[in-house]
């Protein structure tokens, strides 16, 4: 782009270092200005590449990310502004690289703390290359209705209130980025707004000076008056005084130099900006304001009168017909970001999930409303945690202890059972732990470890209906249903299952009542008449004891007992328990580096038959 203007409605930038918020704010400004193209052409993130998703108005667009400035500039030669978010440590090298790219005309260095020597180096190079540096230590600049650098001018509301979504008549230049945003707002209130605003940054050696931008404004017909906000420290403002005296500056200029409060301090004060230190008397705000006033600029008595001085100058220019106030236009309504709108309560959406068992949004996760800190402090058990997360209640001690007993005694039953076998085979096939565990878990079902819920339901139903054990067995036979919880492949009346013995004696010792266990044991007596292995097996025992627990502890309502049996959660006890053993088997095979398992031929009955005619 030629001519005194730095930006236009077609300006595009490359942004160095990934700053998603700054990118979105630029594109939101574009939308308010009704730009047709986004002002960010590409991002540069050393060492990475890809695409960054961002809103351009209502639509989402993808902005490419390149690992180097060279590649980005090559792919986007139309982008002539380089916004450098590098830290003070790498700002020099990255800005040097940008200046060396032919397509880059303006480099904005955001970082504070860039070493003076490096800044002076960059400035010298930029002058030689006839390029512009804004900064270091700046928020950048803006051309109203056209292009803004990163976070310049702040929020969308401030931008609209400051009328920055369309061009005004004022050229504004300042050292301070923060005060610039204030000034944009003041200018929006006191004039028809800014045409272009630049914050040159607060370092002692800014890439471009107050005067350099003022001289650009002199050449820009759109700029009818100039406002300058200087700062104590340095001599930059005296160059402006000289330019007024030699007639270079002709347009009306209203100025103020901040830092007049420094005089109340007994010693020299370093203000926020590196350059804001009034060493010599000449560099004080008073001296500068005095010099500017004597040179013929409009300089108020204090910052508090700055807006009045601006208003008076602007009104005079309007009266003289020098300024035709810009027409106020309403910007397009920018869609609210969903998260913001939700927070503000201006939108609502149905939730997709309901969770009633835990919540991690606070300082610590809660299980059914109990903070984990309290669970630990009160030395609660694993059984308590399972009760809270599965049943959303705390069980009496003997109940949570039953859960732990089940986890301990059903954790494993050797390598030959279905679940262990599949976990072992999958592990020897090279599957990872999770996949091998899942393989074993998939064998849990009505004939292996998954009969707990059915046993609980059938035994409770038979008992509640007052059936005798014999009537119950005969009824199941008539229905041709194998009684869940009865029978075992290797355990029998002669070779009792120790696990079942342990559970039964625990219940007899600790449960207030064992009505349903007693019924199941009567059924067992019936089934043993048929075969020695038709014992109450561990699934059956776990299921029936849980029914006794729920029905005799007083901790569950009848509806809750029904719900728990209907949704079938008791098999979860076997799943949780046996996952411990299955993981053990997987680890065992990994340690053994066991080869791929293959069934021996004599383990298979081959009955191959051909269907071919």
Q: Is residue 538 near ligand LMR by the rule CB under 6 A?
A: yes
CB environment 412-432: b (16+ within 10 A), e (fewer): bbeeebbbbbbbbbbbbeebe
User: In the complex, what is the shortest distance from the CB of residue 585 to ligand LMR, in angstroms, rounded to a whole number?
Assistant: 12
Catalytic residue flag (residue 273):
yes
User: Which residue is nearest to ligand LMR, using beta carbons?
Assistant: 413
Catalytic residue among 165, 273, 413, 421: 273
CA distance 18 to 52: 9
Nearest to ligand ACO of 357, 531 (CB atom): 531
Instruction: DSSP letter for 593, please.
Output: T
* Alpha helices (H) along 529-570: 538-552, 558-567
Neighbours of 479 (CB within 10 A): 9
**Closest C-alpha among 190, 188, 196, 147 to residue 171:** 196
Measured from the CB atom, the residue of 17 and 418 that comes closer to ligand ACO is: 418
Nearer to ligand LMR, 421 or 460 (CB): 421
Q: Binding to ligand ACO (CB under 6 A): which residues in 469-488? A: 482-488
Cβ at position 362, least distance to ligand ACO in Å: 40
Considering only residues 513 through 542, tell me which ones interact with ligand ACO, judged by CB under 6 A.
527, 531, 533-534, 537-540
CB of 417 to ligand ACO, least distance (A): 7
CA distances (Å), 571 to each of 182, 216, 423, 453, 576, in order? 66, 79, 19, 6, 9
> Residue 512 CB: number of other CB atoms within 10 A?
12
Provide the minimum distance between the beta carbon of 444 and ligand LMR in the complex, in angstroms, as a whole number. Answer: 9
Interactions with ligand ACO, residue window 486-505 (CB under 6 A): 486-489
88 binds, among ligand LMR, ligand ACO, none (CB under 5 to 8 A by kind): none
Question: Smallest gap, in angstroms, from Cβ of residue 538 to ligand LMR?
Answer: 5
Tell me the CB-side half-sphere exposure of residue 258, using CA atoms within 13 A.
19
How many chain residues bind ligand LMR (CB under 6 A)? 5
Q: Work out whether the CA dihedral 187, 188, 192, 197 comes out positive or negative.
A: positive
Residue with smallest beta-carbon separation from ligand ACO: 487
Of 343 and 489, which CB lies nearer to ligand LMR in the complex structure? Answer: 489
Separation CA 12–CA 123 (nearest Å): 22
Neighbours of 366 (CB within 10 A): 19
Q: Which does 202 bind (CB under 5 to 8 A by kind): ligand ACO, ligand LMR, none?
A: none
Contacts for 11 with CB less than 8 Å, ≥ 6 apart: 1, 39, 80, 81, 143, 146, 147
Residue 19 contact partner, candidates ligand ACO, ligand LMR, none, CB within 5 to 8 A by sort of partner: none
User: For residues 37-66, which are near ligand ACO according to CB under 6 A?
Assistant: none
Cβ closest to ligand LMR, residue 79 vs residue 573: 573
Contact pattern for ligand ACO over residues 433 through 462, marking x by CB under 6 A: -------------xxxx-x-----------
Q: Of ligand LMR, ligand ACO, none, which one does residue 174 interact with (CB within 5 to 8 Å by kind)? A: none
Q: What is the C-alpha to C-alpha distance for residues 42 and 23, in angstroms, rounded to an integer?
A: 10
Partner from ligand ACO, ligand LMR, none contacting 236, C-beta within 5 to 8 A by type: none
Q: 176 and 273 in contact (C-beta within 8 Å)? A: yes
Q: Which of 120, 397, 489, 530 binds ligand LMR (CB under 6 A)?
A: 489
* Interface pattern 387-426 for ligand LMR (x via CB under 6 A): --------------------------x---x---------
How far is Cα 415 from Cα 307, in angstroms, rounded to an integer?
86
By CB under 6 A, the residues from 262 to 291 that bind ligand ACO are none
**Beta carbon nearer to ligand ACO, 125 or 411:** 411
Judged by beta carbon, residue 154 or residue 540, the one nearer ligand ACO is 540
Smallest distance from the beta carbon of 497 to ligand LMR, in angstroms? 7
Which lies closer to ligand ACO via its Cβ, residue 201 or residue 540?
540
Interface with ligand ACO: number of residues (CB under 6 A): 21
Cβ–Cβ under 8 Å, residues 233 and 258: no
Strand order from edge to edge, sheet including 132-134: 50-56, 59-66, 40-44, 13-16, 81-84, 106-109, 132-134
Strands 81-84 and 59-66, by their bridges, are unpaired
Residues 6+ apart with CB under 8 A from 523: 459, 462, 469, 472, 473, 483, 486, 536
Residue 458 neighbours by CB distance under 10 Å: 25
Instruction: Give start and end residues of each alpha helix (H) in 450-537.
Output: 452-464, 469-478, 498-510, 515-528
Q: CB nearer to ligand LMR: give 190 or 571.
A: 571
What does 484 interact with, of ligand LMR, ligand ACO, none (CB < 5 to 8 A by kind)? ligand ACO
Among residues 212, 228, 209, the alpha carbon closest in space to that of 170 is found at: 228
Residues in the site for ligand ACO, rule: CB under 6 A?
Answer: 446-449, 451, 482-489, 527, 531, 533-534, 537-540
Q: Which residues are catalytic?
A: 273
Residues in the site for ligand LMR, rule: CB under 6 A?
Answer: 413, 417, 489-490, 538
């Amino acid at each position: 782009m030629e001519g005194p203007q730095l930006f236009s409605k077609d300006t595009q930038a490359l942004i160095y270092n990934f700053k998603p918020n700054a990118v979105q704010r630029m594109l939101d400004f574009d939308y308010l200005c009704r730009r047709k193209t986004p002002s960010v052409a590409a991002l540069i993130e050393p060492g990475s590449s890809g695409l960054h998703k961002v809103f351009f108005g209502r639509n989402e667009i993808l902005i490419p990310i390149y690992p180097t400035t060279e590649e980005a500039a090559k792919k986007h030669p139309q982008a002539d502004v380089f916004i450098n978010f590098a830290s003070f440590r790498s700002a020099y090298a990255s800005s040097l690289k940008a200046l060396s790219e032919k397509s880059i005309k303006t480099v904005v260095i955001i970082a504070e703390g860039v070493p003076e020597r490096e800044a002076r180096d960059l400035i010298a190079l930029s002058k030689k290359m006839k390029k512009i540096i804004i900064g270091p230590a700046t928020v950048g600049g803006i051309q109203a209705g056209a292009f803004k650098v990163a976070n310049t001018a702040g929020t969308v509301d401030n931008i609209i209130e400051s009328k920055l979504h369309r061009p005004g008549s004022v050229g504004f230049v300042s050292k301070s980025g923060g005060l610039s945003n204030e000034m944009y707002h003041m200018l929006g209130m006191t004039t028809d707004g800014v045409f272009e605003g630049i914050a040159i940054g607060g370092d002692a050696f800014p890439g471009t000076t107050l005067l350099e931008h003022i001289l650009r404004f002199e050449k820009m017909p759109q700029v009818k008056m100039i406002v300058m906000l200087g700062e104590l420290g340095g001599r930059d403002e005296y160059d402006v005084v000289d330019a007024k005296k030699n007639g270079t500056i002709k347009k009306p200029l209203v100025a103020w130099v901040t830092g007049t409060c420094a005089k109340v301090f007994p010693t020299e004060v370093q203000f926020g900006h590196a350059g804001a230190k009034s060493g010599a008397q000449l560099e004080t705000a008073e001296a500068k304001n005095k010099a500017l006033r004597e040179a013929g600029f409009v300089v108020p008595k204090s910052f508090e009168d700055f807006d009045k001085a601006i208003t008076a100058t602007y009104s005079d220019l309007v009266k003289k017909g020098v300024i035709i106030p810009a027409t106020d236009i309403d910007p397009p309504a920018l869609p609210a970001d969903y998260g913001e709108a939700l927070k503000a309560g201006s939108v609502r959406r149905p939730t997709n999930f309901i969770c009633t068992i835990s919540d991690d949004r606070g300082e610590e996760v809660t299980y059914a409303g109990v903070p984990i800190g309290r669970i630990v402090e009160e030395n609660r058990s694993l059984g308590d945690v399972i009760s809270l997360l599965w049943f959303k209640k705390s069980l009496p001690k003997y109940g949570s202890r039953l859960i732990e007993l089940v986890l301990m005694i059903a954790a494993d039953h050797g390598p030959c059972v279905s679940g262990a076998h599949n976990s072992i085979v999958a592990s020897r096939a090279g599957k990872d732990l999770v996949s091998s565990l899942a393989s074993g878990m998939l064998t849990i079902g009505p004939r292996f470890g998954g009969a707990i819920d059915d046993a609980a339901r059938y035994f409770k139903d038979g008992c509640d209906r007052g059936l005798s054990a014999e009537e119950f067995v005969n009824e199941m036979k008539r229905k041709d249903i194998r009684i869940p919880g009865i029978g075992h492949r290797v355990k029998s009346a002669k070779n009792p299952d120790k696990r079942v013995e342990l559970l039964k004696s625990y219940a007899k010792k600790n449960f207030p009542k064992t009505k349903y266990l007693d019924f199941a044991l009567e059924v067992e007596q019936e089934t043993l008449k048929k075969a020695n292995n038709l014992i109450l097996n561990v699934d059956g025992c776990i299921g029936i004891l849980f029914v006794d627990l729920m029905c005799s502890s007083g901790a569950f309502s009848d509806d809750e007992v029904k719900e728990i049996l209907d949704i079938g959660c008791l098999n979860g006890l076997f799943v949780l328990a046996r996952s411990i053993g299955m993981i053990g088997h997987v680890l065992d095979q990994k340690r053994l580096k066991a080869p791929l398992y293959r069934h021996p031929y004599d383990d298979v009955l081959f009955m191959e038959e051909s269907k071919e005619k």
